[in-house]
Amino acid sequence: MGAFEGKTAVVTGASTGIGLATARRFVDEGAHVFITGRRRPELENAAAALGPSATPIVGDIAESADLDRLYAAVRERGRGLDVLFANAGNATFAPLAQATEDDYERNLNVNVRGTWLTIQKALPLFNTRAAVVVNASVRATDGLENFGLYSASKAAVRSLAQTWANELKDSGIRVNTVSPGAIDTPALERIIGAEAAVAFKTDSAKQVPIGRLGTPEEVASAVAFLASDEASFIYGTNLYIDGGELQF
């Protein structure tokens, strides 16, 4: 029997990368997973790959109405919500002198407001001993140039999650965060282009003590642990998944 047998999970940003790998882990461990993402073709492909234990709901976490549709589908299934992986996010990169108000809105509106709405709107659905895992980033604290707005948004997410862990503990809802480091996902190609992504990944791997990028599946394993009953005494923590990048 899997760790999530008979449970219901929601994974945002589940079309590719970390979100898809985590949704697959939950399905393999027995959960029914509601997956959401903004791009319909990719989301439908993900659902087809995951099989009948996945329900796709197209939507943007920064849009309140889209989240309402997602949680209406969860409510209609009638089994509540046991696990929420708030993974969806956005990234635009620019130095202070060149960043625009639009860059600010894209980073903060999705990563902070969208994550806040994702958790807030899920509250009425949570079953006893539910678990929330929020995707932050090692970039929240390392001061990497050009990452200012993105890093600030992820620092805000980590702060919010710690507060939520305290606020929700008496309801039996556990909240924790994961902070992935340099992970090999398709997102970077979409953001900066394929050629630039190859160079960026090569340079990033050199900064990782173990000498390589992480995989979405390695992040998914950490998320699955924090979401499982094996982590029942873990509240408000932040787990680095970075190959030692910020540890040495």
Tell me the torsion sign for CA atoms 232, 237, 241, 246. Answer: negative
Is 240 among the catalytic positions?
A: no
84/134 Cα distance (integer angstroms): 8
Q: Considering 71, 104, 150, 235, which one is annotated as catalytic? A: 150
Q: Give the C-alpha separation, 240 to 248, whole Å.
A: 12
Q: In this structure, are strands 32-37 and 54-58 parallel, antiparallel, or unpaired?
A: parallel
Q: Which residues are catalytic?
A: 150
